[in-house]
Every structure is written in C-alpha cells, then in structure tokens.
Amino acid sequence: MSDVAERALHTRVGRSVDALRRSLIDNLFYITGRSLQKATPNDLYIALAYTVRDRMLEGFITTAETYKSSSARTVCYFSAEYLLGPHLGNNILNLGLWDNLTQAMLEMGVDMETILQEEPEPGLGNGGLGRLAACYMDSLATLQIPAIGYGIRYEFGLFQQVIKNGWQEEVTDAWLRNGNPWELPNRERRYLVKLGGHTDQYQSENGHLRARWVPDYTVYGVAYDTPILGYGVLNTNLLRLWKSEAYNAFNFQAFNMGNHCAAVEEKVVAENLSKVLYPNDASEVGKELRLKQQYFFVSCSLQDMVRIVQHDLGDLALFPEKFVAQLNDTHPAIAIPELMRLLIDEHAFTWEVAWDITRSSFAYTNHTLLPEALETWSLDLFKRILPRHLEIIYEINQRFLDEVRLRFLYDDQRISRMSLISDETNPRLRMAHLAAVGSFAINGVSAIHTSLLKTTVMQDFYELWPEKFCNKTNGVTPRRFIALANRPLTKLIDDAVGGDWLKNMALLKHLEPLASDISFQSRWREVKLTAKHQLSNHISQVTGITVDPTSMFDIQAKRFHEYKRQHLSLLHIISLYHRLKCNPNLCIAPRTFIFSGKAAPGYGMAKLIIKLIHSVAETINHDPQVNQTIKVVFLPNFNVKNAQHLYPAADLSEQISTAGKEASGTGNMKFSMNGALTIGTLDGANVEIREAVGEENFFLFGLTAAQVQERLIGGYQPRLVIESDTELENALNMISSGLFSHGDRQLFAPLVNNLREQDPYLVCADYRAYLDCQDNVGKQYLNSERWTHMSILNVARIGRFSSDRAIQEYADEIWKVVPVFAKP
C-alpha cells in the first residue's frame, strides 16, 4: 500500500468514511469513556469535535512552521470580542468532510445534524464587531495570509436572553460549562501584567532619566489557542485568547489562620479580568474592570509579539517588519502607549525610535459615529489603574499638539478639539483620538461611514492627515452564512455556477442570466420554502407560535437600539393591524413579522421596545380576525446559531436605521446573500448594496443623512408630523390607550412620549415614507415571478460583500502583506 493510501485510512487523520468512523469510535471511548450504546448526545458531540480537530492539527502545526521559516509579515488582529459561532460545522465544511462524516455517523446510527446542535455558542462576542472579527479570521486563513487574532477568553458570555412576560431577562451564559474541545491551553505562553501603583524616576547606567512602574499588584495572562482553518486550504491560523490567573493563587498562611475567603481572594480578583464579556459599566467598579480587561489583553498580546520578534529576528527595531496590528475599534487602543512603554521602559529605546516603531505598527478601524459610543476614560480612573501609561499619553499629546500648532497657527479651538484629553471640568481621555494619532492608517467600514468620518467626528484629523484615511467596506464569510447556513441554496448555486464560488464570489454573476428562467425560479422558490419550513419549525419549538411558511417572512434581526428603529417597524405593524380591523376584506400579502436581538442590560428604552413587540404579538396573534393574515414573532437569544435559521428564510430584510447612524451593518449582507430583498434607508453598507444589486431590486425609503442633519438643526418637532398624519396618530394612540397592555396606559408612555416630544432618531419623520414603501413591498411580493427575479439578482450581485474581498483590500492597501502557502 502506498504512503498516501495508508495515510487516507489512518484512524487519526484519514478522511475515508471507514477511517472517520473508527476515529469517532476511538475518541468516544478514549476521551469520553463511553461506548456507542451508552453515549449521550454531548458525548457524541465531543467525540465528533475531537475527530475533526485531529484533522486540523497537522495544518495548524505546518502553517506555524511555514510562517516562521518564511519570515513573512503577520497581521495581528486586536479585538475585544470574537463572535465565532459554533466551530464544528464550520470546520467540517472547511475540511471538505461533510459527506464522509455524515455517512460515517449514519453507519453508527447517529444523525450528524442532531449532534451539530449540541455545540454551545462560544460566549466570546456580542454583535457586529465580534462577528466581523470572526469573518475576518476566516478570510485571513482562506486567503492564506499569516495572522494571529488576539483577544480575551471570557469564561462567561454577555448573557443568555430569556423572555418572561414579554420582558428581557439576562441569564448567565456559562458556555464553558462542558469544556471547549477546540482550544489548546498553552501555559508556556504566560505573561505578567501590572496594574495600579505608581511610577518612580531613576537614572540609567548611561545617564538617561527613565521611569519605573511599581504596580500595586500583578496578574498572569495564560494563552488558550484556537486553530482557525481556511476553506479548502491547509493554512490554519491562530486565535490566541488570554485567561487571567493570580500571581499567587492561594494564601496558605491565611487559610491556616482560618480566613478561608482571604486565602483565595487574590485568585478571585485576578480571574475577574477574564470572567465576563462586557461587564456592566454603569458603576465605577464596572468601568474599572472594563479598563483592566482592555489593558490586560493588549499587554499580553504585545508581550507575545515582542517575544516572537526577538526570537525570530533578534532585533526589536524590526517589529513593524514582522507585525502589523489592526485595532478593531477603540477597545484595544491602549496598545499604543503599552508598546511605547515596553520599548522605552523595558528595552531602553529612545522616545523617537519607539514612536516611529509604534506608529508604523498600528492601524485603526473606526466602527461608529455615535458620540456616546466613542470611548473615553476619566483621568482619575486611568491614573489609578495605569499610571505609567498616562504619563506616556501626556507626552504623546504634548508632542502631537505641538505638531498641530505648527500646521494650524493660532487655532486654539482646533487644539482643544484634537487634544487626546478633553478640557472639560472633569477631563477625559479620548481613545479614538489616541488610536488616530498612534496609527499609520484609519479606515471606516462603508463608503458613507468613511465620508461622514472625514466630515464629522474625525474631520480635524482628516484635515491634518488626509493620507491616513481610507474606506474598507465590511464583508461577511459566505462559508458560514451561505454554505453552512443554507445547504440547499449552496447546492442550487453549485449546480448552476460550478467552480469554487465560495472562494471567488465574482462567479455568482453567472446566476444573472438564470434570473428570468422559469424552471430555475421554481427551484429557487423551493429552496426558500424549505428554509421557511425549517424556521417555522424552530419558531414553534422555541416560542410555541405557529406561523405560515407560505407567508412573507419580514425579519429584523440585530442588536436593539433606538437608532436601529425596531419601533418604526412596530408602528407599521400596528397601522396594518388597524387597517385590517377597519376593513376585514382588505387584500394584502400575508406576512409574518419576525424580530430577534438583545438589548444591553442597562438600556431601558430598548427593553421597553422588546416588551412592546411581545405585547403587540400577543394581541395580534390571538385576534382571529387578522391572525391568518399577519403574525408577530420574537425569537429570543439572537446569536450566530439562531441567525443561521433566520438568514436563509427571510423574504424581506429590515435595514431601517436612521441615515448616518449605522457605520456599515453586516446583517444586511447576510440576508441579501441568502436571497432576501432589503427595505432600507441610505445608511451604512445599504448604500453600496443598493448600488450593487440594482436600485430596482432594493426598497428604498426615508431621509438621507444630510436631510436628517437638516431636520435636526432646523428644530425638528415630531408633534407637527404626528398631527399631520392620521395613521401615525392612530398607531401611537392605540399604544397609549392600553390596547396592547391590558388597559395599562402608563406601561408604554415613556416610548410614546419620547416619540411625540423628542424623536431623536426621526421615526415619525420617516414613518409615512416607510409605510408607503411597505405597501409597495406587499404588492411586489404578490408577483412571485418578479419577486424571485429580484431575489436571484440580489444573490448574483452581492459577491463584493464577501469578507474575502475586504481582507484582500486590507492586505493590499493597508497591511502590505502577501499570502504564504502552507504545504503538507
């Protein structure tokens, strides 16, 4: 037997059905200690996960060795969150083992799809920021670009969302309860992190005045490594997440004296740093923990990078040649003064050389235009936790403002606006400014966002350094959000297009001639109906609500925030309900409205909107006069796992944020990739999606970003808009009357009063345009051939929103990195 044939049959790495089956049985026995007859579904999941991981490790080790020997420049992605989604299905897909594993498990009497559902959602991310990081890690590996993702190994995720009496409640997300077979603890990669204390000045041996940080206490960061496999390639990149541990985990003396709590106090305090994703920062204690978390992970990461440079190149001055670090928003911006500290204090570089290295190493992605989302820290808190870093930031700021003064003479207002430290009564450190000053590149995440970035929140920086700014429109991975989430559509496209379109989305253009093909349209509708049946079953299992899969599935799935305007969709539903009650014979397309998403624990208005959705649903779904025509559903605990039910089944994608507020959005891309049509404003990536799929295949409504600003500056009065629109007045009155709250007129008063008196996100201003557009949507849906034609064209023309395209642009235009091909 040849070596290749023998390897194919090998239990540990073989890919044949027989080798996979034997591997599954071996792992079930030797890892879980169970026979097939005694195995639980979780046992089978663990065995299957290790079977798949076995086949990833060769690529993982080979890739690391290849990257090291090539001395290629490596991308380090710094992100506070990674919303990875379940690993198992994605890795099976990327390895090309789906059919063989399905068959192997079938021979064992096990359904693979059932076992896939056993995997918990990794609680390492929350929303679009974390999912973008996960998509980019997937694309980096697929494009064979050397990369390390750095972040925190959170023991508990943000929260599991449960609904009680229509209200969101938060439950601990103990995703690590049964372990994590995908991570490899790497205790050799263990770094000391300092916190608190003070600084001393001293004179070095060569007579230079230097600073020494004397911390109050220290913790360790221990690496947990997760292989990130590319699609159809051997390259397997590294996601390295840090777990905090105590320097002294147990005080034996305190224990012996009977003070058992004090014996483990240091352990508890240290481990809190990686305990939970986004601890509530409403209190000073919460703010302190968030700051410590951010510093903890960037310090560990930079120490790791310094070690690699010294080991591989021997000269730390070559740091920018070995690494480029991308800051995913402002959470990791503390990396800039931390690298300066390491270079100056630990390795005796001069300020000028250290600053040149630092500014050549970092690039910054801005993800928001909302002032409240631009991170700042009080100087008192920052000094208490990171005294040495504040000294470094003061020096950075002084030198930076001197540069601004030379460029813009006598412009004191500009100096005040651009300073890293605000000049208000209680001064704050502006992290977006720090990221901008310490990076060689600054990018927005959609064309309109980047344009607004240059003319609003970062206008001063753009006028100083226009060459730093560029746009990199977000993208999403088609492997997870088409191939894994929607296998019937994947097969249909495979049959129609051929070729490796999952790695070259431009090939989807070949679907365009089929958009008018009656036979292909029929198959397309069958695929959509299959997905809608699957979602209907899921909704029934989770909520107990029965929905009609032949109705239009109108879906809004995203984080709850007033600017995303879930309440605008609700006003449409209430108005539609009122129309049907007034005219029971009204002929409209039957529609199922589906909402999903979480509200931040402290965001009262967002939680009230979730409550209103449930209250409206309760009324409508139990009204026999209308519930055969419209229904309302809230699918709880939105995450990647649940999203994979939603995207394939959607007929209509709701992307209705106030123009100028959404940086990009990626849900809009995922829905469109699965054939949903979009109703939306000219906001974020909607603008580019509309251009790509064609204006006639996108339902546009609402004010533009410029018009929004004009209305607000001109003294917008929502009451006047409401008084001029009878349907809007009726909808608000129906809420106020207690119709949806069992007669309680006060329950939703804060929401209604906000719309009547303030309406900061112009819900009322866009209401009429939205309703008219929705009327057009309903008419278009009744023409199934026309609707299917538009659906096919959406998929055919959505290819540029692959994360592969986005990463290639980053690689070519910002990072200046090239692929390195791992070979067996």
What positions carry a catalytic annotation?
Answer: 367, 558-559, 564, 666, 670
Nearest to 435 by CA among 356, 330, 531, 345: 330
Residue showing tokens 């071996």: 26
Structure tokens at 805: 């395209």
Number of residues in the chain: 824
What stretch of H or E contains 58?
helix 41-70
Local structure of residue 595 (DSSP, 8 states): E
SS (H, E, C) 671-683: HHHCCCEEEECCC
Name the residue among 760, 812, 699, 283 with its Cα closest to residue 561. Answer: 760
d(CA 136, CA 143): 10
Residue 454 to residue 470: CA distance in whole angstroms: 10
Determine the residue type at 542. Answer: V
Where helices occur in 117-212 by DSSP H, the ranges are 128-142
Q: For every residue of 387-444, which 3-state class applies, written as one string?
A: HHHHHHHHHHHHHHHHHHHHHCCCCHHHHHHHCCECCCCCCEEEHHHHHHHCCCEEEE
Instruction: Annotate 344-398 with DSSP letters as a single string.
Output: IIIT---HHHHHHHHHTTEEEE-----GGGS-EEEHHHHHHH-HHHHHHHHHHHH
CA distance 808 to 820: 14
Distance CA 47, CA 29 (A): 8
Helix (H) or strand (E) run with residue 803 in it: helix 803-810
Query: What residues contact residue 522 under an 8 Å CB cut-off, 6+ apart?
Result: none
Q: Which ranges constitute the DSSP H helices of 548-662?
A: 566-582, 604-621, 640-649
Tokens of 424: 């208000």
C-beta atoms surrounding 250 within 10 Å: 12
Query: Which candidate, 752, 697, 699, places its Cα nearest to that of 728?
Result: 752
**Contact yes or no for 755/794 (Cβ under 8 A):** no
SS3 278: coil
Helix, strand, coil fractions of the chain, as percent rounded to 5: 55, 15, 30
Instruction: Specify whether the CB–CB gap between 435 and 333 falls below 8 A.
Output: yes
Residues 397, 415: contact at Cβ < 8 Å? no
Return the bridge partners of 168, or none: 163
Distance CA 315, CA 318 (A): 6
Nearest to 742 by CA among 625, 653, 622, 627: 622
Q: Burial, 546: exposed, middle or buried (Cβ in 10 Å; 0-12, 13-18, 19+)?
A: exposed
The string of DSSP letters for 660-706 reads TT-S--SHHHHHHHTT-EEEE-S-TTHHHHHHHH-GGGSEE-S--HH
Residue 559's closest CA among 469, 695, 662? Answer: 662
Q: State how far the alpha carbon of 356 is from the alpha carbons of 313, 340, 343, 353, 575, in Å.
A: 18, 10, 11, 5, 60
